Amino acid sequence: MVERIKKEIKTHRGRLTLMIVLGALLLIGWRDLESNSSAQDSPNPREILLKIQNMSFGNNNPAIYLKPGETVRFIIHNLDAGMKHDFVIQGTDVASRILDYGEKDAVLFTAPRDEKEMKYECSLHALMMQGRLVVSHDYAFQR
């Protein structure tokens, strides 16, 4: 068997076959790589800007709605003079740096595949700075 393959490779047709097989394997591998990376970080995730002012995210810690499985980029901008803040999604390891006044950070988050009610917070001031993160198919109740 091995002898036969060796002989085949020596022939022109054998080499051609080998090239085609290798090419097909490469193509399959490439496609798998591409689909993996697009699943993990989609090229243009929706951006959600949260400006922190007066001990609050945005305007009074708004509820944020995500589609199941959606990847979004949270951009956190600390505009609260003299205060340090961060942005953490409870029950995940998604967290920004602790931001000084004027600093910005961005974090990527992929929502769970199932509908779920989650919470985001500033870990330094969780009592005042906490909001709902709603993962839902139903966009009807969104603002």
Q: Is residue 125 at the binding interface for Cu ion, with CB under 5 A as the rule?
A: yes
For the chain, what's the residue count? 143
Q: Which segment (12-20, 60-68, 79-87, 133-141) binds Cu ion by CB under 5 A?
A: 79-87
Pairing, β 116-121 against β 88-89: antiparallel
133 touches Cu ion by CB under 5 A: no
The C-alpha R_g of the chain, in whole angstroms, comes to 25
Of the candidate spans 3-11, 41-49, 97-105, 125-133, the one that interacts with Cu ion by CB under 5 A turns out to be: 125-133
**What residue is closest to Cu ion based on CB?**
122
* Chain Cα centroid distance, residue 128: 27
Question: Of 66, 71, 72, 85, which lies in the binding site for Cu ion, with binding defined by CB under 5 A?
Answer: 85
**Strand-pair partners of 78:** 52
- Return d(Cα 74, Cα 105) in angstroms, integer: 8
- Going along 8-121, which residue ranges are E strands? 46-53, 56-57, 64-66, 71-78, 88-89, 104-110, 116-121
Specify the residue, 30 or 101, whose C-beta has the smaller distance to Cu ion.
101
Site string for Cu ion, 15-54 (x = CB under 5 A): ----------------------------------------
Q: Is 124 an interacting residue with respect to Cu ion (CB under 5 A)?
A: yes
Pairing of strands 130-135, 116-121: antiparallel
Q: How far is the CB of 67 from Cu ion (least distance, A)?
A: 28
CB of 118 to Cu ion, least distance (A): 18
Q: Are 14 and 8 in contact (CB under 8 A)?
A: yes
Contacting positions for Cu ion (CB under 5 A): 85, 122, 124-125, 129
